[in-house]
Structure 1
Amino acid sequence: MNQALNLREYPTTDQCIGGVTQFDDTQPWIYQIDNPYLHGVYAPTTQELTESQLPVTGELPADLDGAYFRNGPNPLHQPGNRYHPFDGDGMVHGVYFRDGEVAYRNRYVDTVAIAGERERGSSISPGVMGPFDYSVSEFGIKDTSNTDLFCYAGGLMTLWYNAGHPYRLDPNTLETQSYFELEGRNHRRLSAHSKVDWATGELLFFDYGDEPPYMNYGVADPSGKLKHEVAIDLSGPRLPHDIGFSQNYTILHDLPFFHDPEVLRKHKMRVLTFHRDIPTRFGLIPRHGQGSDVRWFDCEPCYILHVSNCWEEGDWVIMDGCRSVNPMPSAHNGEGELSHMLAYMRLEANNYRWRFNVRTGEVREGDIDDLNTEFNKTNPLFHGIKSRYAYHQRIPLLEEGGHTLRFTGLVKYDNETGSRQEWDYGKGVYGSEAVFAPRKGADRTRAEDDGYVITLVTDSQSWESHTLVFEASDIAQGPIARVQMPHRVPAGFHATWAPGSAIFTS
């Protein structure tokens, strides 16, 4: 029986604050929690469309050439247990800009997990929150490939939050081709946020796990061949989410937010704890260095999801990103069995800068701004060299109505001065991670913010979705073009920009 979800079956997000719904009589072991991440702007869209010549309000720039891709959770079947957004099947949405016209297509990432569920016609995974009753389902937790994505070695790579197996999609059709294999590597697993250096075409990657070595770091060439991989010595399992890179160094993260391996072994579940008495460590490794070459710098305890950019200035290596000093907020009364998941998804972070002196070992760190923002992006042409601007999503705190993770506005930061420009998406309108799209043919000789910022928004009042195009130099003036999407696009995770030269074949 296909239990595909339908938006009409669910009330809006604001009407869903905890509580248990009825049992599914067709599968007595399955129960459902009234989960806000299955409602409103989060409700999945199971349609896969291909549309061209989308309606545009405003004027599309003639030098906007390429595609905005966005990944996110989109469960094909009714979840069996306490649904977490990490459990949602990956779906990629592609918005293609070429010759003044816009096309759209969206496709599921055809993972091994979703193939098994299509065959059965229902969910077969306990999900990351369990319960882990393997007498009923031996499938295990789904690697949904729903988190990040980027173009590399001629394909579109999709990845999962917990260091999963990446998949290769055709960037033009979005059809899943296979696992994304790095030639010469003996396993596939990659973290959610490996990085492509546009200047060299190299892939800088890491992965992590529950057994030694707890982290590996490596480099692959532009064609997808492994060049270098080394083990990184850590004192136990960790949950790093991102890395940064400058021209000569890669910055690895050893963060004091991790689980107890004994609890994992005994109960098959990760219980995360933020250890406020343990410093955060950032490790600088030469791009092709050995594990023994890592130089660790102790910083104030924090968690970091996403790096904006890194670069070198003399003896200093600078890293800009978003810092959280409360990665596991207290659960809120009245949220029942979902309280810890809802608290974890309520993201508290702000724009921050770290500076590491490779000669003296000195660390300098501090706020750039205190506004609650995350999902930060910069001009990819300037990754690894000095940059000034970053484009963040404004996130309301719980006391501001942020019961769930939602993006209510676009923020452009000048990280040299700490000043910011903002564009509010509007009441009940929620955005996606924004990307910087360089003008066609642009290079590093152009001004850093000479290009466009693109995001995708959904209006919870009309259920319409639009792709917005901003002049990056002045986002406060609002979008210069607004593209009507052919259906509602659910809220998601990460986005990327691919220039037309990398994806269009004719």
Structure 2
Amino acid sequence: MSRSTAAQLGFRTLTEERVEESLPVSGTVPAWLSGTLIRNGPGRFDAGGDVNHWFDGLAMLRRYSFEDGEIEYTNRFLRTEAHDRAEAGEPTRQFATGASGLSELRRWIRALGPPEPTDNANVHLARIGDRFVAQTEVPRWIEFDPHTLETVGEFSFEDGVSTQMATAHFVVDDHRGESVGYGLSFGRRTEYYVYRVPHGSDQREVIGRVTAEGPGYVHDIAVTPNHVVLLEPPLHIDVLRGLAPWTEGFAGMLSYDADAGTRIVVLDRETGEIVADPTVDPFFVFHHVNAFERDGTVVLDLVAFEDADIVDALALEELRSGGFAGAPDGHLYRYRVDPRTGEVADDRRHPGGIELPTVPPAVRTKPYRYAYGQATDRAGANGLVKVDAEAGTATEWWEDGTYVEEPRMVQRPDGDAEDEGVVLAPALDTDAERTYLLVFDAETLQLRARARLPHAVPFGFHGRYFPDL
């Protein structure tokens, strides 16, 4: 059999749904691993007409449950307005996809303005109070049942805070018993609202506000015990351009201004006061790795790109022609911000390409040593990388023709070391034309187990591990 490509499989529609299917496992899953990994991402790219961007496929949840060395798998589409319209042949306006022509103009006229944003919540997920919610970057999130993955309905906060954009990346801080996020509110003075959601609550508490200077496209934030860091890159949002019915989704509103620089805003986590607001040489960032405090400075580790070309490189036309080979690599950088002086120092912590980084839960917001991510700088595969952020060294795992997705590190409950546990990562094997869930030893990156899924799952984005689920 000739090898399939990542473009053929990783961006191909999957319509099949499976429920509580026991996966065949080669190797050994540790008996102490008991819990559930739920992941989110696109599953269908062709309903209602082809979409233009990887970010616009219809949301499909994937659930991996672990008990007594066995793994059970469920996948299910979110049943949303976007899903129903796509099934009826009417695509919705999304990140880089917009229904064009007279049909879109008629929708605008019927809505007396721009129609409601998409509810295709395919980016991430969170536990908010006792509810499980699929998230996207507009405030139309979808509640789902964490056991069956069935759609419950649209979720909204009832706290009086109004935003038009929202982070799909909560920073879950178990040390403080809260999650931290932000939303963007457009107006005469466009502002970022930084807020907390206490564990067990389904309401936001505003920490502070930041006046936008772009506004910029902010995908993720970082948190330390005493600060929140909001990094505003020079990928600016042109709100007026978004008011035209012919604009191709949110991406049509974006423009990169390299002369503007990248802004690093540091807020006091208790008072909301801005304690530092320096601008540095321009770069773009999707994801932060971790942040902490050391010797009076805020230390911020992130994956930096030279510019915002990565956004266009993830368009489906580009991915289907060359896979990830044409996408620029991001690199792990460390920024040190001194709130007393506003001075910033930076250095590159790892020479290789990396994305979708995670750290062990116990060291989130704390000084840490190890980060795990997708290694991206080799043709014909994506690997797994474990970076020693203090030493600047790395251990990598690669397998030709295998594309590893976002890893999640799960610490052993009775372990002492930061890296004692396992790393869970779905991976698409282009030879087998199947997705596998891989279980690695977190210390050595030795592959301990490989669970075979019944199909090839399109490349997803983010997930969370719930040890009590």
Q: Same fold (TM over 0.5)?
A: yes
Match in the other structure for 1:145: 121
Q: Distance in 2 between matches of 1:494 and 1:330?
A: 17
- Matched AA of 2:85: G
The Cα of 1:146 is off from its aligned counterpart by 0.8
Aligned to 1:322: 303
In structure 2, what is the Cα distance between the partners aligned to 1:101 and 1:471?
17
Matched, 1:287 2:269: yes
Residue 21 (structure 1) aligns with? none
2:437 corresponds in structure 1 to: 467
2:396 corresponding residue in structure 1: 422
Are 2:424 and 1:454 aligned? yes
Q: CA deviation at 1:313?
A: 1.1
- 8 Å Cα contact 1:459-1:465 kept in structure 2: yes
- Residue 92 (structure 1) shift: 0.9
Q: Give yes or no for the alignment of 1:413 onto 2:387.
A: yes
1:167 aligns with 2:142: yes
Map residues 245-284 of structure 1 onto 2, 5 A cutoff: 245-266=223-244, 268-269=247-248, 270-284=252-266
- Structure 1 partner of 2:110: none
Paired position in structure 2 for 1:310: 291
Look up the equivalent residue of 1:142 and give its one-letter code.
T
Q: Which moved more, 1:123-132 or 1:373-382?
A: 123-132
Which residue pairs with 2:172 in the alignment?
A: 196
CA distance change for structure 1 residues 234 and 186 in 2, over 3 Å: closer, same or farther?
A: closer
- 1:182 corresponds, among 140, 154, 157, to 157
From 189, 193, 199, the counterpart of 1:216? 193
What code does the residue aligned with 1:287 have?
Answer: R
Q: In structure 1, the residue corresponding to 2:166 is in which secondary structure?
A: coil
Aligned: 1:124 with 2:91: yes
1:153 deviation in Å?
A: 2.3
Aligned to 2:111: none
1:317 is displaced (CA, Å) by 0.9
How much does 1:99 deviate?
Answer: 2.3
1:350 is aligned to 331
Aligned residue runs from structure 1 range 78-157, under 5 A: 78-118=47-87, 120=88, 122-125=89-92, 127-130=94-97, 132-133=99-100, 135-137=102-104, 138=107, 142-157=118-133
Matches within 5 A, 1:45-64: 45-64=14-33
Larger relative contact order, structure 1 or 2 (CA cutoff 8 Å, min sep 6): 2
Q: Secondary structure at the match of 1:454?
A: strand
Question: Any idea what the Cα deviations from partners look like across 1:8-38, whole Å, max 9, x if unmatched?
Answer: xxx9547xxxxxxxxxxxxxxxxxxxxx5xx
Q: List per-residue Cα deviations over 1:181-238 (Å, max 9, x = no partner).
A: 3342444752121222122331211122554434211112112222225432112321
1:346-385 counterparts in 2 under 5 A? 346-385=327-366
SS at match of 1:113: helix
Q: Percent identity?
A: 27
Distance 1:73 1:336 in 2: 16
RMSD: 2.9
Contact preservation (8 Å) 1:356, 1:362: yes
> Using a 3 Å threshold, how does the CA distance of structure 1 residues 85 and 336 change in structure 2: closer, same or farther?
closer
What one-letter code is carried by the residue in structure 2 that aligns with 1:437?
V
CA contact (8 A) 1:54 1:102 kept: yes
What is the distance in 1 between the residues matched to 2:320 and 2:26?
41
- Structure 2 runs not aligned, ≥5 long: 108-114
Please state how far the C-alpha of 1:241 moved relative to its aligned partner.
0.7
CA distances 1:445-492 after superposition (whole Å, capped 9, x unpaired): x211111101011212221221111110111x3x11111213222211
Q: Report the Cα offset of residue 141 of structure 1.
A: 5.9
Q: Which moved more, 1:140-149 or 1:63-72?
A: 140-149
Instruction: Give the 3 Å change call, closer, same or farther, for CA 134–125 of structure 1 in structure 2.
Output: farther
Corresponding residue SS for 2:278? strand
- Secondary structure in 1 aligned to 2:457? coil
1:304-346 superposed Cα distances (whole Å, 9 cap, x missing partner): 11111111112111011111113216989xx989999999982
Note closer, same or farther for the CA distance 1:364–1:343 as it changes in structure 2 (3 Å cut).
same
CA gap of 1:272–1:74, structure 2 versus 1, over 3 A, is same
User: More strand per residue: 1 or 2?
Assistant: 2
From the superposition, tell whether residues 240 and 41 of structure 1 become closer, same or farther in structure 2 (CA, over 3 Å): same
Distance 1:220 1:341, change over 3 A: farther
CA change 1:186–1:340 in 2 (3 A) is farther
1:156–1:163 Cα change, 3 Å: same
- Mind listing any 5+ residue stretches in structure 1 that lack a counterpart? 1-10, 15-35, 402-406
Counterpart Cα distance in 1 of 2:293 and 2:158: 31
Larger deviation, residues 51-60 vs 247-256: 51-60
Q: Aligned equivalents of 2:210 and 2:82: distance in 1? A: 30
Q: Normalising by structure 2, report the TM-score.
A: 0.87
CA change 1:370–1:53 in 2 (3 A) is same
Identify if the C-alpha distance between structure 1 residues 150 and 82 changes in structure 2 by more than 3 Å, giving closer, same or farther. closer
Whichever residue aligns with residue 465 of structure 2, its letter is W
Give the TM-score, by structure 1 length.
0.81
Deviations 1:375-426 (A, max 9, x none): 11111121111111001111147xx46xxxxx610000000011100000x2
Structure-2 separation of matches of 1:248 and 1:152: 22
Give 1:22's aligned residue.
none
Contact 1:327–1:347 at 8 Å: present in 2 too?
A: no
Question: What is the rounded CA distance, in whole Å, between the counterparts of 1:416 and 1:337 in structure 2?
Answer: 36
Question: Contact 2:283–2:305 at 8 Å: present in 1 too?
Answer: yes
